[in-house]
Amino acid sequence: MNFIFHGEIIDYQYINSHKEKTILLLHGWGGDKNSFLPTIKILKTRFNILTLTMPTVNPTKIVWHLQDFKDLILNILSALNIMSISIVCHSFGFRVASLLNGICKIEKIVVTGGAGLKRKNKIKELENENNLILLRQKKFKYLFKKIASADYLNLSKINKISFKNIVNFESNKMIKFSCPMLAFWGNNDDATPISMGKKIAKKNKIKLNVVSGSHFAYLEHNAEFNNLVRNFL
């Protein structure tokens, strides 16, 4: 199904199982509506399911801000007459969920590899390890490319501006939810380090579920993740 927002065609799927509760699944940067497909298969017999492909890496007509993604979700919820949701989100999806917090009724939230918290400046770290003069010389531009996100380097010009808008919107105030939360993290996550997961868990006074995995631990340990999510929701 398609939804038009800011002139963009948004691909979404609403599985109406005629259940009382609806689960909204928010993928990470570069993902799509099928990023949580194994989880959807588990949940769709018990819940209504709403999943969409947010415009991240596919070229867009306009520059997006994080608030635009929030408004997109609110508009789809309104169009479907959904009054309350539980959220399952990964990475960038947690940024969007954080802005929905307090605006729409969220009953429960599951976060894995959540992004949005402040972290150490990689440029500064590199400067400490290398001569600053060399960093500024053109022949050492590869040093900057080495630490630049692959997500960013592959984007269109408009999408690069959107990416900058989003990653620069960082606030530790985003991590406190008033609803029950389940947190699932890979101990080798190099995109959203486990220290972020610990901070989120501490702020929400919950246990952090840690597995031996990467930023995509929810897929690497899918059976364990799905079991936790099903029982939690």
Question: Kindly report the CA angle at 106 between 105 and 109, in degrees rounded to 5?
Answer: 175
Tell me the pLDDT of the chain (233 aa) as tens digits: 999 999 999 999 999 999 999 999 999 998 999 999 999 999 999 999 999 999 998 889 999 999 999 999 999 999 999 999 999 999 999 999 999 998 999 999 999 999 988 765 554 444 444 444 444 454 444 444 554 566 677 788 888 888 888 877 766 566 789 999 999 999 999 999 999 999 999 999 999 999 999 999 999 999 999 999 999 99
What is the enclosing helix (H) or strand (E) of 13? Answer: strand 8-15
Rounded CA gap, 102 and 98, in Å? Answer: 9
Q: Which amino acid is present at 28?
A: G
Output the pLDDT for position 119.
Answer: 62
Residues pairing with 208 in the sheet = 183
Residues pairing with 177 in the sheet = none
Output the pLDDT for position 51.
Answer: 98
Cβ neighbours of 75 (radius 10 Å): 15
Q: Which two tokens stand for residue 214?
A: 């990467």
Output the pLDDT for position 164.
Answer: 84
Nearest to 152 by CA among 166, 135, 139: 166
- Burial of 58 from C-beta contacts in 10 A (0-12 / 13-18 / 19+): middle
Spatial contact of 12 and 76, defined as CB atoms under 8 Å apart: yes
Output the pLDDT for position 163.
Answer: 83
